[in-house]
Amino acid sequence: MRLNFRISSSLSRMANSTNKNDVQKDYDDKFNTFNYLKYYMVQNHNLSPTIPYKYWLLPTVKVLEQFADRLMGKQRVLEFGGGPVLWPSFLLAQYFHEIWFCDYTPSNLIAVQNFLDRTADAHNWIPFFEYLLKPSDDLQQRDDKLRQALRNGRLFRCDVNSDNLLIEQENGIMQFDMIFSRLCLEAACTTYLMYKRTIKRLADMLKPDGMILMNAGRNETFYMIGNEKFWVLALNEENITQAFIDGGLSKPHFIIEQVSYENVKNPTSDCDARMVFYAFKSNTNS
C-alpha cells in the first residue's frame, strides 16, 4: 500500500532526472486521491487486509505496544506526509492527545477533513479500523478518540523541498513527543541530501526522549496508481542509518520483510523489502 505524495529521484533514475518543480507538478496534476484510495484502500466484504497492508500495519502496532509506557498519555504527535490514509492516526490517537497531520497534496487533506465532517463522500475506514480492534475495544469509542485527537491538533500542508521551516510557528519550532511518517520521505525528497536535511529538520522538532517511527520500501524506485507511475528515492538500511545518526538520532532499529515478485506480472512497486524502523533522540535510552 502506498500513500501521499511520491516524488522523483535524481539518484535512483539518472536517465530521467527531475527537479522539485517537476515533482510538485506530479502531485498537483497527476496524483488523484480518489484513485489512490480506490487502488490501495478499498476492502471488499469482510476480508482481512491484503498482505502488504498487514505488513505495514502489524509491525507498526508491535512497535507502539513495545514502547507504550513511553508514549501513553503524551501530548502531541506529528503525522508527516499522511496522505489520505487514516489507519496510522487511528493507532496514534490511542497514545496522544493531539495529532498534527500534514501532507503536500491538498486533496489528501480534504479527504481527511471529509472524514472529520462525516460527509457522504468520505472514505469508509470502518473495515480497517475493525481489523485493528482488540476484543475488549469499542469501535465507536476509538473512532471518537481519533476524531477528537485530529481536532485537537491541526490539518495543514507541508513541503520538504521548501527552504522555510517545515512547520511555521510564531514562537519558534513546534516540538513533538513523536513523529510518524509512512512511505513519504523517499517520495517527497528529490535527492539523498534533501532526505538527510529533512531527517535533521524532523529530529529538531522532537522533544527530548522523542521517538521517530517510519515505514518505507527498500531500494524502491517507483510505485503505481493504476497506470500512473510515481518515482521514488531509493533508500536502504545503510543510508537511512547514516541520515538518522547525522540528524542527531540514535541508530535506527529495523523490522524487515523481504518482497518477492515471482509470478507477479505487473508489480505496483519495485521495492525488494518492506521496512518499519524507529529511533529516539540521541542520548536517550532506546
- Which range (25-29, 106-110, 175-179) has the least confidence? 25-29
| pLDDT value, residue 111 | 95
CB 251 within 8 A of CB 244: yes
pLDDT on residue 57: 87
Confidence grade of residue 228 (pLDDT, cut at 50, 70, 90): confident
* Contact predicate 107/33, CB 8 Å: yes
Q: For the whole model, what pTM was predicted?
A: 0.86
**Of the options 3.40.50.150, 3.40.50.620, 3.30.565.10, 2.60.40.10, the CATH number for the domain spanning 14-280:** 3.40.50.150
Q: Dihedral sign, CA of 39, 41, 42, 44?
A: positive
DSSP codes of every residue in 142-176: HHHHHHHHHHHSEEEE--TT-SS-SS--TTSS--E
Please give the share of the chain, as a percent, with pLDDT higher than 90: 58
Q: What is the pLDDT of residues 200-210, one digit of tens each?
A: 999 999 999 99
Least confident of 56-60, 171-175, 185-189, 278-282: 171-175
Per-residue pLDDT, 199: 96
23 — pLDDT class (breaks 50, 70, 90): low
CA–CA gap between residue 77 and residue 63 (Å, rounded)? 15
Coil, strand, or helix at residue 59? helix
Domain parsing of the chain, residue ranges? 14-280
Tens digit of each residue's pLDDT (9 = 90 or more) over 101-142: 999 999 999 999 999 999 999 999 988 888 888 889 999 999
